[in-house]
Amino acid sequence: MAVPAKNIPAPDLVPVRRALLSVFDKTGLTDFAKALAAAGVELVSTGGTAKAIAGAGLGVRDVSELTGFPEIMDGRVKTLHPSVHGALLGVRDDPEHAKAMHDHHIEPIDLVVSNLYPFEEVRRSGAGYASIVENIDIGGPAMIRASAKNHAYVAIVTDPADYASVLNALEMNLGSLSLDFRKKLAAKAFARTATYDAAISGWFAEALEIEHPTWRAFGGRLDQVMRYGENPHQGAGFYLSGDGRPGVATARQVQGKQLSYNNINDTDAAFELVGEFDPDRSAAIAIIKHANPCGVAEGATLKAAYAKALACDPVSAYGGIVAMNRILDAEAAEEIVKTFTEVIIAPEATDEAAAIVAAKKNLRLLVTGGLPDPRAAGTVAKSVAGGLLAQSRDNAVVDDLELKVVTKRTPTPAEMADLKFAFRVAKHVKSNAIVYAKDGATVGIGAGQMSRVDSSRIAARKALDAAQAARLAEPLTKGSVVASDAFFPFADGLLSAIEAGATAVIQPGGSMRDDDVIAAADEHGIAMVFTGIRHFRH
């Protein structure tokens, strides 16, 4: 049964006479406190916050004066007291509440300024278990939630970015804050504590290796409101989870206009793909369009890799995303800007390269400071009607797999290198996925089809189109290898790849008709390797 409400109407304007300030992040604190004091607001504070305010020459009451009780247990217990929470939760127009406050000498608090211990930052730093636990704030969330619940009388400020708007509202309302303003602050406060608790519960699940916790929470902080989502009639915002994984969310935008929803989605796909390629082994480029690769290649230099990647599908590359696994240099930048490109993302960029990109004012350049680890664990989620699907990140890497040759012919060393390359790319192609590769470059990609044989034919057709555009005598699929993200349920998909010119195949295996597919490969003298791992990507 729900807790009954007394239906006491909330006042519109509440004068701010007393404020409690207790913050970890002291950005803008002293200036804010000075402005409150100048407006006649009594300041109450705790610990380091009180010292900072007093150090600015302001009068401040220690919270222990309200509670009659000192801070104890290394500051763990200071605001968890009836004199504080009664001051925050008391319904001042309720006679019973007012009498309790009077009888127990509880002085009302009209404004609370509180932000939390930096749990998310400490977690990301790699600190030990005990340090992470010590940075779980208790008193802060309790005050924030109490104030937010009683927003009929109390304003709660959790973000230094809101200090200016609070001061402006106080000035506009002659020292009071409106109910509508207090509601908005309360909504933000509850969202903040929810995100904080989501980070804590997520860390515990990870630390205790609980794969599927009974309650699952995800949280994030708004980074930007976008003009629209996937389509102009859809609203969209970009939220940061606090995960330190290098990528579009953690990148520094060097130049270019604001990223769109589709830009962010595609750039994430591009950088995750290129992260599969070790920069110490070779340079690598991935060109992405609509979250699917239209060209991927390795090379001795980024310029060489870009040329090979672009040759796979130069038509689709127009307006695409370009990701690389090494520092963007001037030579590569000069080539990339010759084709209309939406975003370039790289671990870093030279000054010369950045200057070349700067000539294209709308071209976004992002630098991340590193590459995503394809082997790292993590959780990915997808919304469905009424719920969320959550799963572990696909962190299987072909170099770690036990590859099994199942045909009479064994792949040559060159074929095996291309097979591994193709399977790395197939992991990042929408299912059903078929990837043809030759000499460390994709030469045909088929994605997102309901039939695997259709993906194989589409990839071959794209290779034929690319060959005609480049005035080649035959498509580069001749003498290529082919990767499939999942098993061939019938031999027809394999036969289509053979017809396109593939000489070796890599696939997970596991079909009821594996023997038929192997027999077809042997009949045509094709080498085939099973990985035992599939890479569906829907």
Read out DSSP for 285-321?
EEEEETTEEEEEEEESSHHHHHHHHHHH-HHHHTTEE
Q: Contacts for 460-465 with beta carbons within 8 Å, 24 or more apart?
A: 460/436, 460/496, 460/497, 460/499, 460/500, 462/312, 462/313, 463/312, 463/436, 463/500, 465/313, 465/315
Check if the beta carbon of residue 266 is closer than 8 Å to that of residue 288. Answer: yes
Decide: 303 and 455 in contact? Cβ < 8 Å.
no
Please write down the HEC assignment for all residues of 242-275.
CCCCCCCCCCEEEECCCCCHHHHHHHHHHHHHHC
Phi, psi of 31 (to 5 degrees): -65, -40
What is the separation, in whole angstroms, between the first and last Cα of the chain? 43
Contact 248, 273 (CB under 8 A): no
Instruction: Quote the CA–CA distance of 152 and 9 in Å, as a whole number.
Output: 8
Quick check: 491 and 516 in contact, CB under 8 A? yes
3-state secondary structure of 149: helix
Between CA 235 and CA 226 the distance in angstroms is 7
Give the pair of three-digit tokens for residue 468. Answer: 């005609």
| Dihedral Cα 212, 270, 293, 411, nearest 10 deg | -80
Q: Which of 478, 519, 476, 475 is nearest to 498 (CA)?
A: 478
Q: Are 140 and 46 in contact (CB under 8 A)?
A: no
- As a whole number of angstroms, the distance between CA 277 and CA 371 comes to 9
Strand-strand pairing, 155-157 and 111-114 = parallel
User: What residues contact residue 285 under an 8 Å CB cut-off, 6+ apart?
Assistant: 274, 295, 296, 297, 299, 302, 305, 306, 308, 309, 322, 323, 324, 332
Which residues, 6 or more positions from 126, have their beta carbon under 8 angstroms from its beta carbon? none
Residue for token digits 């470059």? 441
| Catalytic annotation, residues | 149, 290
